[in-house]
Each structure stands twice: as structure tokens, then as C-alpha cells.
Amino acid sequence: MSDAQLRDKIALVTGAGRGIGAAIATRLGAHGAQVIVNYRSSAEEAEAVAASIRAAGGHATPMQGDMADAESTEALFKAVLDEHGTLDLLINNAGIVKDGLLASMREPDWQKVIDLNLTGVMRSTRLALRHMLRARTGSIVNLASIQAIRGGRGQANYAAAKAGVLGLTRAAALEVADRGVRINAVLPGFISTDMTQVIQRRAGDQVLAQIPMGRFGVPEDVAGLVLFLCSDDSAYITGQSFTVDGGLSIA
């Protein structure tokens, strides 16, 4: 894949100050995209991600926006379109966990996960489509999770939200396929980030024993797949879900 693969494409990566989002932003920036590094609270981290993309010769701007909040999300999309005039790539990466057994799960913990991980993805996809459908081009990549398929003890809220993202991806992709817009989903397994720190600390060896490739993933393992789904190399692929899990789902 050439360095200029995404030259001049405008890419919005949500939750890109750290973790998988930061790796995706960095990878897209290295391949020529002008990256909007969205963050909710990690302002310094997002500025550092943008600065490192610029230091490597790319273009990147940090932009605040709470993807669980309708007004804030609309303001972010308005700012992106006002500044760049277009949006070619949207990576719905922002996500949270609020784990707990369903029998005792508090409703706010259910709702917060659904609000960001599912409703937030719907909202930003809809805002992006309003522009992409007119432009008749665009690629949207949604970060789901293998827990969408596996379930996951203590993750009924998270698994339900991520399974919802898979349905949303397929239905929305079908609606816009004839208008030049593609929508796909990525299902990471266990990737070493802040999100998985607790489980790695408490049950790292048990989880590791289940992963055929014998290691946790790193954010860059996911970023390569997202780059592919953003590029013209995947021009005939839409409505699909791709697992990146070191073989966990086939074990």
C-alpha cells in the first residue's frame, strides 16, 4: 500500500487520544489522510497524537467532542465540515465498558454503555452520511468487539451494544451501497489498552491461554485492518465484519 493511499482524505477518528483510536489516527495520518483526532477528556494525549502525525509529515488536528452527547456530536461534525468542507472517512472508535453481572447491573451502567457504544455510533454515522451521500463517496468503520458474538461474563451491556453495532453496520451499509458509501465493522479480541488493563491484571494468564497466537493484540494490529477498510483496496467490500483476535474466536 503506497504512502499516498489516503492522500487528502479527511478522516475523523473518535476517541483517538489513546488506545486503539490513537493507533488508527496515526496509521491513517501516515498514509496521507488529514486526521481529526477526537477526544472527550484526553486533550493532552490527543494533542500529542496529532503532533506526532504532523512531526512525521502528516496533517492532524485534535477536536473535542462527547460522542455520547447529541449536541456535542453535532457541534463536532459542524466544526469538521466548516473547517475541511468534506468528510471522507469516519472511524467510530470511542467506547467504554461498565462491567457487572446482569442480575445486579445498575440501569445507569447499562444506559451509559448503550448511549456511547451504540447510540453514539448511530448518531455519528447518520451525521456523516448526510454529507457522504451528497458527495457519493465515503468509508465508515465501526469498532465492534468479539464480545458481540461471544457474549462475555459481566458484559451484557457491552455485548448488546456491540452486537447492535453489527446490525447497524449491515442495515446502514445496505441502504447506502448504491451511493458510493461503504460501512464495515471490525471485531477486536483482547487488545492491550487501558480498557483491558483490569482483566489483564486479574485474569491475564487465563485469557492468554485461550489465544492461539499466544499474545494479546496491540492497537497497531487493529489499525492495519482499519487502514485497509478505509482505502480503495477494499472498494468492493461493504456491510462486513472482520475479526482481529489472534485466533481466539476459532479456538
Question: How many residues touch ligand NAP (CB under 6 A)?
Answer: 28
- DSSP labels for 35-84? EEEEESS-HHHHHHHHHHHHHTT-EEEEEE--TT-HHHHHHHHHHHHHHH
The nearest distance, CB 119 to ligand NAP, in angstroms, is 11
Instruction: Report whether 192 contacts 216 (CB < 8 A).
Output: yes
Interface residue with ligand NAP, options 10, 21, 27, 138 (CB under 6 A): 21
Interface residue with ligand NAP, options 58, 62, 138, 188 (CB under 6 A): 188
Catalytic residue among 158, 190, 216, 242: 158
Cell of 202: 486479574
Instruction: Report whether 230 contacts 160 (CB < 8 A).
Output: no
Mark whether 236 is an active-site residue: no
- Under the binding rule (CB under 6 A), the answer on residue 145 touching ligand NAP is yes
- Under the binding rule (CB under 6 A), the answer on residue 6 touching ligand NAP is no
Instruction: Report whether 91 contacts 12 (CB < 8 A).
Output: yes
The nearest distance, CB 145 to ligand NAP, in angstroms, is 3
Report phi then psi at 191, rounded to 5. Answer: -115, 135
- Under the binding rule (CB under 6 A), the answer on residue 238 touching ligand NAP is no
- Residues annotated as catalytic are 158
Query: Contact residues for ligand NAP (CB under 6 A)?
Result: 14-15, 17-21, 39-42, 66-68, 93-96, 116, 143, 145, 188, 190-191, 193-196
